[in-house]
Amino acid sequence: MKKKCFFVILILASVWVSNLKAAGNKNLLPRPKLVVGIVIDQMRVDYLYRYYDRYGKDGFRRMLTHGAVCENNMMVHLPSYTAVGHSMLYTGTTPSINGIAGNNFVDQKTGRDLYCTADSLVKGVGSSSSAGCMSPRNLLASTITDELRLATNFRAKVISVSLKDRASILPGGHCPTGAYWFDASNASFITSTYYRATLPDWLVKFNNENHVRKLLTGMWNTLYPIETYVQSTADDSPYERPYLIGQRPVFPYSLDSLFVHKGAEIIKSLPAGNTLTTEVGIAALKGERLGCGDQTDFLAISYSSPDYIGHQFGPNAIETEDSYLRLDQDLAHLFAALDHQVGKGNYLVFLTADHGGANNLDFLKDHGFRVNNFDVRAIEKALKEGVKAKFGVDGLLRGISNYSVNINYEKVKENKVDLAALKDEVVALAEQQDGMAYAVDMQQIMTVPLPAVIREKAVNGYNRAHSGEVLLIPQPGWYETFGNAPVTGTTHGTWHPYDSHIPLLFMGWGIQPGHLYREVHAVDLAATLAALLHIQMPNGCIGVPIPEVISTKMK
């Protein structure tokens, strides 16, 4: 009898607590349980529709059908690189303010080359290699993930994952719950002592499951009969680079052989890298119980493999097409996991890219386009020789990086060279180079007759501490190469639409389906998320909320 009474009291007490919680939650501000940020490295906007007919209903097409689609989303800065794009998306601002002027950039005071997330003051966690010596210390502005942590007194969880260190670290911001990236030296996801002293149990378990070797077993063949890949060039194409010297870039690829010859590093350049990223994202979702608490959590996932594949094969390759069809399946798997754990309509997901990518130059030449190599080595040599002949001093220029000319200020001062005259000479010499649309002294840019859109992107991308003073702007279709060897795959980095027109889609909590065709800007993403979550914008944000996304009806 006493035992029965005890259980009755226990049940009544639990009901009372539940009712109390419900009463206390009635006035909670409506917010999603989880925000999921998806950035696809080097995803051109046309990939949404180029392969549309072959996507399943639960991946890209789910977002296109049930989401808010900003069809004309443009970046407002240059250069267009991975670190620049990721930091821009999450800070809502540009290199001029957030300091990330490239993947690598030059400290203009010292002339030292800096990697965007390198940090000699920290050590790796989960690895003894230099891959762990990373942190967000070079990022000068807060991120939307930082602001979510601050707004909730750090109760919200923020987890960021990617194969690339910079693609995890920069979205994660300065104070995430965790930021994790892939170290090929031990085929594991790692972090640094900036964040924590040990890996979380869920990640230790994930690393011990040997996903990399399992994914690099068997063959990579096309999902569909190869002759049906009509959006791509023939399989044996001169525009593509093989994985192994002496082999041809053709299907099928032996994953076992690639692993034997290249080790775990090769997974970055295969669709399996997207699958691995998806799996670690789902492991973080479950291991951290994201979206299961009282606060809005944030999961940032960056897919790096499309960039590696794009650089190797270019936009017109069967390998690229097949990788997006497989990525579509990975997204469907991710969304299914989110539906199961958080529930449809309870989470907000956005999908975008850090930059696009150009068509292969030789491919364009063979089809009648007037394009060519923007040979950085040749241009750098011409500028250095011309400056030396003009001023009689060697070493006045350090070199070219991120499409800008870096000056050796110590040499200038030692030899009493007039800096303004030096920059004028650099501009004059640069304008004589093939493929050069403009060469601009950034201190004089407001006086240069540039189209307004290019001027704005140049100013936004210029950081006095990390950018060269003379900016080189190539003509359309000309992009950075090093030497005159045949160009395989592709690259990116310019202001042109193929590099700066990127997808932006929202789906889930608070989002009404629709398509918006007016121009919006990639820096608007962070401001839009801040408005949806009712939190502060990042402290350097120059974007504005997209009202059509926030309102109940798309215009």
208-251 residue pLDDT tens: 999 999 999 999 999 999 999 999 999 989 999 999 999 999 99
Nearest 10 degrees: CA dihedral of 309, 314, 316, 318?
-30
- Residue 212, Cα to own-chain centre: how many angstroms? 22
Residue in the block written with tokens 């540009």: 94
Structure tokens at 522: 């990639």
Q: How confident is the model at residue 487 (pLDDT cuts 50, 70, 90)?
A: confident
Average pLDDT (337-361) is: 97
- Residue 181, Cα to own-chain centre: how many angstroms? 13
Surface-to-core class of residue 293, CB atoms within 10 Å of its CB (0-12 exposed, 13-18 middle, 19+ buried): middle
Task: Using the predicted structure, report yes or no on whether residue 5 has a pLDDT greater than 90.
Answer: no
Q: What is the pLDDT of residue 25?
A: 55
Q: Which residues sit opposite 114 in a β-bridge?
A: 105
**191 flagged as catalytic:** no
Structure tokens at 520: 């919006």
CA distance 136 to 193: 12
Amino acid letter for position 86: H
Q: What is the pLDDT of residue 8?
A: 37
Output the average pLDDT for the chain. Answer: 94
Assess contact for 525 and 89: CB atoms under 8 A.
Answer: yes
CA distance 353 to 522: 9
pLDDT in tens, 224-235: 999 999 999 999
| DSSP-based three-state secondary structure for 288 | coil
Catalytic residue among 82, 177, 191, 528: 82
Structure tokens at 524: 């608007």
Q: Going from the N-terminus, what domains does the chain have, and what CATH number goes with each?
A: 34-360+497-550 (3.40.720.10), 373-481 (3.30.1360.150)
Q: What is the pLDDT of residue 28?
A: 79
Express as a percent the part of the chain with pLDDT over 90. 90
pLDDT in tens, 18-36: 443 434 455 678 999 999 9
| DSSP-based three-state secondary structure for 452 | helix
pLDDT in tens, 77-124: 999 999 999 999 999 999 999 999 999 999 999 999 999 999 999 999
Average pLDDT (466-477) is: 96
Amino acid letter for position 294: D
CA distance 411 to 399: 13
Assess contact for 334 and 281: CB atoms under 8 A.
Answer: yes
Task: Using the predicted structure, report yes or no on whether residue 553 has a pLDDT greater than 50.
Answer: no
CB atoms within 10 A of CB 459: 18
Residue whose C-alpha is closest to residue 268's, from 162, 197, 344, 341: 162
Q: What is the pLDDT of residue 9?
A: 39
Structure tokens at 218: 């068997």
DSSP state of 360: P
pTM for the model:
0.94
CA distance 410 to 396: 8
Task: Using the predicted structure, report yes or no on whether residue 486 has a pLDDT greater than 80.
Answer: no
More confident residue, 14 or 417: 417
CA distance 158 to 149: 7
Task: Using the predicted structure, report yes or no on whether residue 528 has a pLDDT greater than 50.
Answer: yes
Assess contact for 322 and 479: CB atoms under 8 A.
Answer: no
Q: What is the pLDDT of residue 372?
A: 87
Contacts for 158 with CB less than 8 Å, ≥ 6 apart: 145, 148, 149, 172, 173, 175, 176, 177, 178, 297, 298, 300
| DSSP-based three-state secondary structure for 135 | coil
Extract the runs of DSSP E, i.e. beta strands, from 266-384.
297-303, 347-352, 373-375
CA distance 231 to 421: 51
Residue in the block written with tokens 């017109």: 316
Q: ∠365-103-168 over CA atoms, to 5°?
A: 115
Q: What is the pLDDT of residue 552?
A: 54
Task: Using the predicted structure, report yes or no on whether residue 170 has a pLDDT greater than 90.
Answer: yes
Average pLDDT (365-383) is: 93
Q: What is the pLDDT of residue 481?
A: 84
CA distance 275 to 267: 10
Task: Using the predicted structure, report yes or no on whether residue 538 has a pLDDT greater than 90.
Answer: yes
